């Protein structure tokens, strides 16, 4: 039996796809990795908000699934929209790696630093930590962003720790942010294996239940905030506490809420956003 595994074509994405393939290998199963270019890969200059924000690295992979060009799509769970597309489901979440954000180029935040990131979530929380920072937009794959830090004379860039770890670039990390300082993106650190509804059996053996529970709770918080909220939103479940966040992109206000029910947390965040609007 041949299982076609779809992935973005970046070095990190293909590394992640190969990791997923290792989990799916079994007697009688042949695996083929199929690289697919997404909208987020084609446009590497515009801010994410201008090309669709969440989902810009996912849509083409989902269409390939629906068109039966692939059988499994490997996503960084943080790139997925907060609800599943009709006809598709996440058949497995692999064991979660480090969900934290990482500072590369420095080992602490200092006043007046120039820091590169394209993430509104990171921007808001960084400025809340230190309002004198200069945040400069920076896109591209991990290798590109690390290179551009030097070319542009930035003091640091902020990246997902898990991606650096997966590529053997942990040495680039000067600081792994505590979630109390930078709350991670919903799903950060986890890989999601998406399949057509009814094909969950193809990947079910690779599913890690604890990761599924945490990531699904995080995605549910973001979904409950509602599509009308354009402010930076984050959610993270550390195994005991579910935390949600909404903020102004300039860091002038940040609201954090904790609780057990994702829908209630999402509503609290939506209410907080309306109060500040």
* Torsion sign (Cα): 91, 81, 45, 245: negative
Q: Give the residue from 124, 144, 106 showing the smallest Cα distance to 49.
A: 124
Neighbour-count burial of 67, counting CB atoms closer than 10 A to its CB (0-12 exposed, 13-18 middle, 19+ buried): exposed
**Does residue 211 contact residue 232 with C-beta atoms inside 8 Å?**
no
**CA distances (Å), 192 to each of 22, 89, 96, 102, in order?**
14, 10, 10, 21
**43, 71, 79, 98: which is the annotated catalytic residue?**
79
What does the DSSP 8-state code read for residue 2?
Answer: E
Residue 201, Cβ density class (10 Å: 0-12 exposed, 13-18 middle, ≥19 buried): exposed
> Are 172 and 149 spatial neighbours (Cβ–Cβ below 8 Å)?
no
- Catalytic (active site) residue 101: no
Q: So which residues are the catalytic ones?
A: 79
């Amino acid at each position: 039996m041949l299982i076609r595994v779809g992935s973005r074509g970046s070095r990190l994405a293909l590394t992640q796809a190969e990791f997923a393939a290792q989990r799916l290998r079994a007697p009688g199963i042949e695996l083929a990795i199929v690289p697919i270019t997404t909208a987020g890969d084609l446009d590497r200059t515009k801010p994410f908000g201008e090309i669709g924000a969440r989902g810009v690295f996912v849509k083409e992979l989902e269409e390939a699934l629906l068109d039966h060009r692939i059988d499994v799509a490997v996503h960084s769970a943080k790139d997925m929209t907060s609800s599943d597309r009709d006809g598709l489901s996440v058949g497995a979440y692999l064991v979660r790696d480090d969900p934290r954000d990482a500072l590369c180029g420095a080992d602490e935040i200092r006043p007046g630093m120039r820091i590169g990131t394209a993430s509104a979530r990171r921007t808001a929380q960084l400025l809340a930590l230190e309002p004198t920072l200069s945040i400069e937009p920076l896109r591209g794959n991990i290798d590109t962003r690390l290179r551009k830090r030097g070319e542009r004379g930035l003091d640091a860039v902020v990246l997902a720790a898990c991606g650096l770890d997966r590529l053997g670039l942990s040495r680039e990390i000067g600081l792994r942010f505590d979630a109390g300082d930078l709350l991670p993106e919903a799903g950060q650190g986890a890989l999601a294996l998406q399949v057509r509804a009814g094909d969950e059996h193809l990947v079910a053996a690779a599913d890690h239940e604890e990761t599924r529970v945490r990531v699904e709770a995080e995605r549910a918080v973001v979904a409950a905030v509602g599509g009308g909220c354009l402010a930076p939103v984050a959610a993270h479940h550390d195994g005991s506490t579910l935390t949600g966040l909404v903020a102004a992109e300039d860091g002038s206000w940040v609201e954090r809420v904790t609780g057990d029910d994702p829908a209630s947390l999402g509503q609290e965040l939506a209410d907080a956003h309306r109060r500040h609007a």
